[in-house]
């Protein structure tokens, strides 16, 4: 393929990261998305239909793509469910190319309309096989969202598989809400459900690979008590990002959404935020 035909041509040998990324968006009820592609990377900023979950994807480590060409910025609206189905068939060792054809280089159709065409090229060098797919684009309302500025007082990093396990155990109690507290470097998760109550406590240890790492901003010495209530289902869906990265970072602040951040391979990150509840459940 010659770059002169394209506004955008991006190659990566990390198709699994893209497959997981769009599946996670779909599972969090973000069914339509605008892909903003520029010379600095690929960005998605969307909310779910219920305005409870916000997703910010920034794949800005352009040097870690196998190639990254962007002649000029483009905005591409996609149906996330359909794109997830298309990506499902890509093998983990295949080359994935995302492209947007330059309409000025296209032969105009009979009605004189030459629009940007978005597509995928899937190549398997071992088999000598390639597939070129043109993906139908859609008009997605560009919501007036601002990129979350996470100058939160506390950031907690821990193995992503550990957080997924904690959330899975909370789910087994058949509750709907999780209380997250942080005080003096002790992180607690609590739920009450049909099967009883469960509280999981996580502290620092001398084992760096398994210990939580707490970064605090401010001079209160960790004396502030963070107490938040969040829907358990949101955490369940967020922790499906475990397939993307070994570590997760939690951003915590009173009276603010809870955010989880995961790396997307070595290409960038996804941040998922959920609105917190104003009050604890009545039966607690």
Give the mean model confidence (pLDDT) for residues 138-149: 87
Mean pLDDT on 76-98 = 96
What are the structure tokens assigned to 100, written together? Answer: 């947007």
What is the number of alpha carbons within 13 Å of residue 140 lying toward its C-beta? 24
Q: How confident is the model at residue 104 (pLDDT cuts 50, 70, 90)?
A: confident
**Sequential DSSP letters for 37-82:** EETTEEEEEEE-TTS-EEEEEEE--GGGSSEEEESS-EEEEEEHHH
Residue pLDDT, tens place only, 226-248: 999 999 999 999 999 999 999 99
Q: Encoding tokens for residue 171?
A: 């789910």
More confident residue, 224 or 4: 224
- The strand pairing partners of 251, in sequence order, are 155, 259
pLDDT, averaged across the chain: 93
Tokens of 86: 């298309």
Q: Are 261 and 231 in contact (CB under 8 A)?
A: no
Q: Which domains does the chain have, with CATH numbers?
A: 3-135 (3.10.150.10), 154-274 (3.10.150.10)
Q: What is the pLDDT of residue 110?
A: 44
Q: Which residue has the higher pLDDT, 282 or 155?
A: 155
């Amino acid at each position: 393929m010659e770059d002169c035909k394209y506004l955008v041509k991006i190659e990566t040998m990390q198709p699994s990261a893209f497959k997981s990324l769009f599946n996670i968006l779909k599972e969090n009820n973000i069914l339509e998305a605008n892909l903003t592609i520029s010379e600095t990377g690929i960005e998605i900023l969307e909310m779910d239909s219920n305005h409870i979950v916000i997703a910010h994807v920034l794949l800005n480590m352009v040097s870690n793509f196998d190639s990254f060409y962007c002649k000029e910025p483009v905005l591409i609206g996609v149906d996330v469910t359909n794109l997830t189905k298309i990506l499902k068939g890509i093998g983990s060792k295949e080359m994935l190319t995302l492209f947007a054809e330059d309409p000025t280089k296209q032969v105009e159709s009979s009605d004189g309309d030459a629009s940007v065409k978005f597509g995928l090229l899937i190549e398997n060098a071992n088999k000598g096989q390639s597939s070129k797919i043109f993906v139908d684009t859609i008009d997605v309302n560009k919501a007036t969202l601002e990129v979350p500025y996470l100058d939160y007082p506390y950031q907690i990093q821990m193995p992503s598989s550990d957080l997924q396990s904690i959330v899975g155990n909370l789910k087994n109690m058949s509750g709907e809400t999780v209380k997250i507290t942080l005080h003096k470097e002790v992180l607690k998760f609590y739920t009450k459900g049909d099967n009883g109550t469960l509280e999981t406590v996580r502290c620092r240890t001398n084992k760096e690979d398994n210990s939580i790492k707490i970064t605090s901003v401010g001079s209160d010495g960790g004396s502030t008590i963070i107490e938040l209530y969040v829907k358990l289902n949101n955490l369940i869906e967020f922790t499906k990002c475990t397939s993307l990265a070994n570590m997760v970072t939690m951003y915590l602040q009173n009276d603010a959404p809870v955010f989880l951040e995961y790396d997307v391979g070595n290409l960038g990150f996804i941040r998922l935020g959920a609105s917190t509840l104003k009050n604890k459940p009545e039966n607690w």
